[in-house]
Each structure stands twice: as C-alpha cells, then as structure tokens.
Structure 1
C-alpha cells in the first residue's frame, strides 16, 4: 500500500448511484473513476471521493486498458482495482494480479462469473444446484436437453449474463429452439457474444439474495433478502426486502449453503452477492454468486441498514489492502432493522410519455433514495430485451412486514404511460 491516502481505481460505476462514492468518502479512500462508455461524467462535478477520471476502452481493448493501468500505477501508485459491474470482475482481478494488488485472482473471478464453471464446482462440492447442461452453438438444443435427462419446463440463460438478461423459461421441446435463438440474440453483448448458454431445470420456489463480506476466509453473512417469486417466462426483478422472514432451520440452511459455496469457488476475500431459490419453499438451491457488491450498490444500502455495518466502506478497505474496522465472524450477522428496494416495473414497452407517482414517493419519510433511470422520451424494448429498470425506490423500515405493505402501496402509486401509436414500432 502507498504511504499517502489510499486510492482505488473504480471501474464503470454509474455516477448517479451515490452509495459507493459516499462510502469511499467515509472510509477516507480516494477514487480514480473509469467511467462507463454510455455515461458522461462532468469533470467539474465529480461524485464524492473521486479525484480523477480515467477513460479506458475496456470492452473494445482490455489489453490496452491493462497497459494504461500499468503505466498509471508506475507513475502514481494506487492500492487496488474494484468494480461493482459483474462483466468487469475478471478484468479487475487480472489488473490486480498484474500489479501485485489485493484481489481474488483471475481463476476465481472467472469461475464466479461463468455459470457453467460455477455450477460444476458447486455440484462437485455436493451443494444444491439445479440440474443443468451446457449448450454450445453447435449443439442441437432439444437433443442436448433430452440427453441430459432434463424435463420441461427448463430455463435457458447466458453463461456470462447478469440482471436476468436473456433468462427465459421454455415450456416444451417444440418451443426450446426459438427460446435458445432469442436468448443468443439478446445476450450478444456479453463477454462471449452469447455463444455459451446453460439450460437448467426450473426451480419452483421463492428467490432470495444474500449479501456477504469475506476476510481471511471467514464469511460474514450480512443479510438474507426476499426477491419475490418470479415464474417466468422472463424473470424480471421486482422487489428486495430484508431481512427475509424465514424459519430458523431454513435460515441456517441458507447460511451453511452460502458459506460452503464460497469455499467451493475459492472466494476468500471481499464482498459477494449470492442469489438462490428455496425449492419447495424450504431447500436452498444456489443460482449464482457474484464476487462484488450487488445491484450497482443497492446491496450496500440493504445490508448496511439491516446490520448497521457500512458494507461498501468495509469492502473498499479490503480492496485497498486494509483490514476491516469491524470484526467479521463466520455466520449470519444480527439484524437491527429492515430495508427494501422496489424496482419500478416497465409495465409495457414503447416510448415513455409519463412516469407517475415518483414525486409523492420522494416525500415519504421512509424513502432515502429514488433513483430514476428511465424518463419520458426513452424507448423501452419488450422482453426478453433488457432496456433497464425505470427506477429504484430504496427505503428503511422497522420490519419487513412494513416494507411489504409499503411495496403494495407503490404498486398502486407508481405507473408508466406509453405512447400507443409508437408501441408497435418500438417493439420491432
């Protein structure tokens, strides 16, 4: 670590999502921000803790970006490379490895991103994972699924996807070919161009997210949150409420499964975001684990308010080679409050003409942040294309029952209008 104030290179964090920047400021860490290519950051109005903008063409020229970071580190050393953007987790690990900085390592980063490798390692460790089969471009989908012994319905997903991008249920062998073709098209922008897919059994049961922080191999599970019970066909995300009201035995099973998954994948350091389903409402089946703070920082908000632990600040300290300022103990942290995120549904597609209800939501005393990503004039493509989420509503509550009631209110209060005359054109 350098002798001066710790500095981290932060890759592709949206400037409009404030939590990680604010956490860096609280932690006394400077940030060199590598902006997203689709976002212009005003150099005269930098987010908190950002001391420098460093544009890099990461998607098109990762080797060139690595060389720029190497030269930048030689001229003005920094202490770590970090990202909350899942496609860049392997790049961040590679940069850290190249420069001798803290990190999880390239192999671990890739195994935590590629669902094919992840499924194989979790299954080899004896953990609960959906039965699945790899599907490469040359494979015949129906024959491959039949040879694997999978029965319908099944779920087709890109091996390197994120945010439910392209995840689609197929209900029959006759429908499978069209679903596979559509998933490949939608996921063409992923790291492998959508070539690698997995087909897995459909799990009937509610979905949960688990936020964890790992130091020296000890996994502190910060929170377990309810993510709804999506049935498909496209599994749009909708809610996140924590702590989830679970029977003690089920909660203990979830914690054991998540801790064992860290060991199976070799994740011994940093933040993680794990998603799972409770098959039959009781048995945890892991869907994926991201070696990052989830939801572009939403997971920090949820875990922080549930536990009182400054999740992002502690994660940034670890990325800079500093020890956490709190004691991390193996197991589940005590919940002291509840927190929630309501993801405003698109509710249609076409050109947005109005977003109703958000001004009233902003005035609610329980709401800390309304982050609006889509506005009038934006065009929303129909699923399975993923345009983005219209807005996040992040709120604090005394308990999850109150959060559930609040989300029921938001379902009635917030809606999006579209221009009917352009809906068909927007879908093409």
Structure 2
C-alpha cells in the first residue's frame, strides 16, 4: 500500500499569492510548481508545500510542454495536475487526459474557457442567457448590430477585464470590435474570436462551488458590486451575500444546472453572474478553477471555516473531498472580503497611497500589491492588472461593507503628470 503523500502539478501559480500553497501544506499534498514565465522563483523562497519546480513554455511550445510533463511523469509519477490560471484550463485538461490523470476532459474545458461555446451550451440547456452573437472576424461586426443596445464586447478566450467593453450605440460597434480585437491580438498572442452580447443590468455576484462525481456543492455566494461599464473594473468582493432565500435558491439552481450543461463533474469552479431585476440569475461565465488566483480559497475558508483549496487539490489527485461534498450547503460562520484597488486612471504610477497603514489593521490578513511606482498602467479596454488586493475578515457582511467605504477614500493611485520626462 502506497502511503506517501500525493503530488499534484500546479501550473502557472504565483508564489506571492499564498492561499493554495497554504492549503496544500495543511492537506499534506506536495506540489510540483510550474512557474509563470515572467516569474523568477528562488529555490530558498519556495512555499513549504512545493517539492520541485518544472519550467514549461506552454504558450510558446505546447507540444514540448506536454512532452516534458510526460517525461516527468514517467520518471517520477505524480497523481494530479491543476491550474488557477484560466487560460491554461484547456492545457491542463489535455495533459490530464494524456497521462490518464483525473480531470474534467478537453470538451468540458473548452466550454468553461471559450465564451462562445459556453453561451451556446447554456442556451441549449434552457438556462438564462443574454442574446449574443459570436464573431470569428472583426469584419463581421454587422452581425451583432441587430442586438438590443447597450451590448458588451468580450474576447472568446479572455480573462479578467482584458478587452471587455460596453458599447452604448450601434454606430460605435465597429470601432469597439476592432479595438478589442487588436488589444487581444497583442496581449494574448492570438485571438480566435469575440462574443457580443446584450448588456445585463443588476448586481453582480460570484459563486464558489466544488463538484465531485457530478455532485455540486455551492460553497459561498458573494457580492461583487454593480459595475456599469464601459470597462467593468472590479472593485469589491464580499461574502456571504445578503439575498432573499428564494433568490439564493434560484442562484444555486442556475449554477448547479450550468455545471451539467458544461459537463463539469469534478473540481472547483468560480461562477460570475448578474441578477436581472434583482431576482433572475444570468451567468456571465463559469471558470473550471479556483477563482482570483486563490482569493476564492480565502473567501470560502473565512466564511465557512472549511478548506476549499485543499479539497480541490484532493480531487485533482483522485481523492475524495473532506470539507465539502454530497451537495450539502455549508453554513456561514463569518464574513470575508476582498477590496480590489482600482487603477483609477492610466499612465506611469507615481505612488500608491494608503496600503502601508493597513498592515497593522486587525481586520486585514493580506495586502497583496501587484503594481508599484514606476509601473505603467495602460488605458482600458487593455488590462494591466489591479494595483492591490486587501483581504479582510469580519463578523458580518455589513461590517465588511463599512470597511470598504473607508478604503475607497484611504487608498488611491497617483500618476506621473504627462510631460514630466519620466
């Protein structure tokens, strides 16, 4: 009987975002880290759960990356492979199939990552979907001109806020499609198409779920604000969301049905949706991964007291979950929040105010800064990233909301004036 701890390959996770590494350590799961190409990983600064590093160039040489994984598996077998980086969900699914490891399969990964396929499968299942058009070429923009405006243009394979733009009038559609297409070509290296869909009003929510052998457990539902565009910069994430019981039930039903429609039977998912009229859930997207590069683990852990990422890693290794499962709805024991510092402009950052003062705040567990003085923030619909995350714990969601109001005035980004020579 093999009693050694399971090993999972973790692809493109930054070591500066600690939550999944901490969960692996608690669960006794060893990780082989595949670093992001732009990250230098010092061997003496690796998280304790990381037992080895494997460099792969997935974007530049996909076939070579798969071959390298096979060689590593044949020399030193591992039990699973996963990623928190949405663009690599299809690659991980392909690698798992190649090696005979647990995974969602390439077809399900396609539906969870390609927004064109996702929209079609959700609509075919009778779920709530805005009217949409898929564009395979920027010259086909007129195909979407019959939709009710405003509409939202988004890359089929985009992530975060990259290339997402609201268009209020039909006469602006051609220019918006061409701009988004070009930005995505430059940032993604390739672009396979766009989705143009009718704009959904109403508040936005994020749902963290875990599915095992087809049984979906909705772990938390969190409030994400009411972004109105034109570029949908994120700002808050507070859980648990305060919703009427009937609306919460409708969200759970819609999210559960979406897993079935997309064929996702195992692993973590991160769903974003809007409530039209404050009652009817419309899915924006469902990602087959832990959301927010691990932020979802922090949210679920401090709302429910349970280890979401540890269970996700167990499933990746072919083991049953211990904290969640069987569709049981976990009770909320507290509140957790992420304040996403907005860029508030573009240009070269001169200073980010208000972060240093938060390190001694007892409500704050993590201040994760991603952008620093000297970094250049490009204007939307390009997406540079967010300056920082502020993750905090609270007794209630109302307390988290009050805290976020103070951060709105306490934190700010200043940019170097144009023509300063810097």
Is the TM-score greater than 0.5?
yes
- Distance in 1 of aligned mates of 2:237 and 2:130: 22
Query: Residues 14 and 35 of structure 1 are in contact (CA less than 8 Å); yes or no, is this contact kept in structure 2?
Result: yes
Match of 2:273 in 1: 276
| 1:213 equivalenced with 2:206 (yes/no) | no
Question: Which secondary structure does the structure 2 equivalent of 1:155 belong to?
Answer: strand
Q: Tell me if the contact between 1:356 and 1:414 (Cα under 8 Å) persists in the aligned partners.
A: yes
Matches within 5 A, 1:143-158: 143-146=142-145, 149-158=146-155
CA deviation after TM superposition for structure 1 residue 195, in Å = 3.5
Establish whether residue 377 from structure 1 lines up as the match of residue 374 from structure 2. yes
Aligned pair count reads 422
Q: What secondary structure sits across from 2:70 in the alignment?
A: helix
RMSD: 1.6
CA displacement 1:135-176 (0-9 Å, x = unmatched): 1116431x2013xx4111110000011102111011111111
Residue 127 of structure 1 is matched in structure 2 by: 127
User: What does residue 306 of structure 1 align with?
Assistant: 303
Q: Give distance in 2, aligned partners of 1:50 and 1:356.
A: 34
1:114 match: 114
Mapped to 2, the partners of 1:56 and 1:293 lie a distance apart of 21
**Is this contact kept in 2: 1:212–1:220, CA < 8 A?**
yes
Which of 331, 351, 354 is matched with 2:351 structurally? 354
* 1:322/1:96 CA distance change after superposition, 3 Å: same
- Give 1:30-45 correspondences, 5 Å limit: 30-45=30-45
Measured in 2, the distance between the counterparts of 1:116 and 1:300 equals: 28
The secondary structure found in structure 1 opposite 2:390 is strand
Secondary structure of 1:264's match?
A: helix
Asked whether 1:317 is paired with 2:333, we answer: no
Q: Counterpart of 2:413?
A: 416
- Would you say the 8 A contact 2:231–2:381 is kept in 1? yes
Q: Matches of residues 38-53 of structure 1 in structure 2 within 5 Å?
A: 38-53=38-53
Q: Distance in 2 between matches of 1:392 and 1:71?
A: 38
Distance 1:29 1:339, change over 3 A: same
In the alignment, structure 1 segments of 5+ residues that lack a partner are none
Match of 1:222 among 219, 224, 234: 219
**Are residues 1:288 and 2:263 paired?**
no
TM-score (normalizing by structure 1):
0.96
Where do 4+ consecutive residues of structure 1 move more than 6 Å? none
Contact 2:355 2:411 in 1 (8 A): yes
User: Partner of 1:267 in structure 2?
Assistant: 264
3-state SS of paired residue (2:137) = coil
Which residue number corresponds to residue 330 of structure 2? Answer: 333
Pair 1:237 & 2:237 matched: no
Shift of 1:51: 1.1
C-alpha distance in 2 between matches for 1:55 and 1:30? 17
Match of 2:11 in 1: 11
What is the CA deviation profile of residues 348-384 of structure 1, one whole-angstrom value per residue up to 9, with x for unaligned ones?
1111111111111121101000000011111111111
Partners of 2:172 and 2:328 lie apart in 1 by 43
Inter-partner Cα distance in structure 2 for 1:194 and 1:225: 31
SS in 2 for 1:160: coil
Query: What is the match of residue 64 of structure 1?
Result: 64
Q: Does 1:102 align with 2:102?
A: yes
The CA distance in 2 between the partners of 1:280 and 1:127, in whole Å, is: 16
> C-alpha distance in 2, partners of 1:282/1:48?
45
Q: Distance in 1 between matches of 2:4 and 2:186?
A: 39
- After superposing the two structures, state which structure 1 stretch, 288-297 or 318-327, moved more: 318-327
> What's the CA shift for 1:418?
1.0
Decide which moves more: 372-381 or 321-330: 321-330
Residue 48 of structure 1, CA deviation: 2.6
Give the Cα–Cα distance (whole angstroms) in 2 for the partners of residues 328 and 49 of structure 1: 24
User: Per the alignment, in what secondary structure is the counterpart of residue 127 of structure 2?
Assistant: coil
Q: Secondary structure at the match of 1:332?
A: coil
Per-residue Cα deviation, 1:222-281 (whole angstroms, up to 9, x for no partner):
000011101000001110000111111111100000000001111110000001000111
Check whether the contact 2:308–2:323 (CA below 8 A) recurs between aligned residues: no
Instruction: Give the Cα–Cα distance (whole angstroms) in 2 for the partners of residues 400 and 145 of structure 1.
Output: 40
